[in-house]
Amino acid sequence: MRILRTLQTFLPEDDDASQQAWDLSRQLQQKGVASPILTTYWHTDPHLPEKEDVDGVSIRRLPVQWGMMGYGFSLGAIGYLRRFDIVHTHGFRNFLTDSAFFLRS
């Protein structure tokens, strides 16, 4: 089983959603359940790697094509979301969460 976590922004941003997603993914990974994190470069350092593996957790950052009113559109997420058994979204009213809702419902 593969469980994808999505957040519009992720570590090194220091907020509760990022910490919660990180803790859940890391603990599942330690139990042998793949739980990568999909995020974007929205309000994040653009020099961070697009793909990285930290403590066994795969992190993928996608570019944001455009944004308005705190909503960053990242069209690359659409195909990516379909590859997982479960999509666990953190946060609301962002493109990753809304896309997961409509594609996986």
Beta strands in 20-91 (DSSP E): 37-40, 51-54, 57-62, 66-68, 71-73, 86-89
Q: Which residue has the higher pLDDT, 15 or 105?
A: 15
Q: What is the mean pLDDT of the chain?
A: 88
* pLDDT-derived band at 10, boundaries 50, 70, 90: confident
* pLDDT-derived band at 28, boundaries 50, 70, 90: very high
pLDDT beyond 80 at 46: yes
CA distance to 3, 21, 30, 47, 64, per residue, from 26 (Å): 12, 8, 6, 24, 26
> What is the Cα Rg of the chain in Å?
13
pLDDT for residue 71: 85
Q: Taking residues 44-73, report their average pLDDT.
A: 90
Around Cβ 95, how many Cβ atoms within 10 Å? 22
Domain ranges of the chain: 3-104
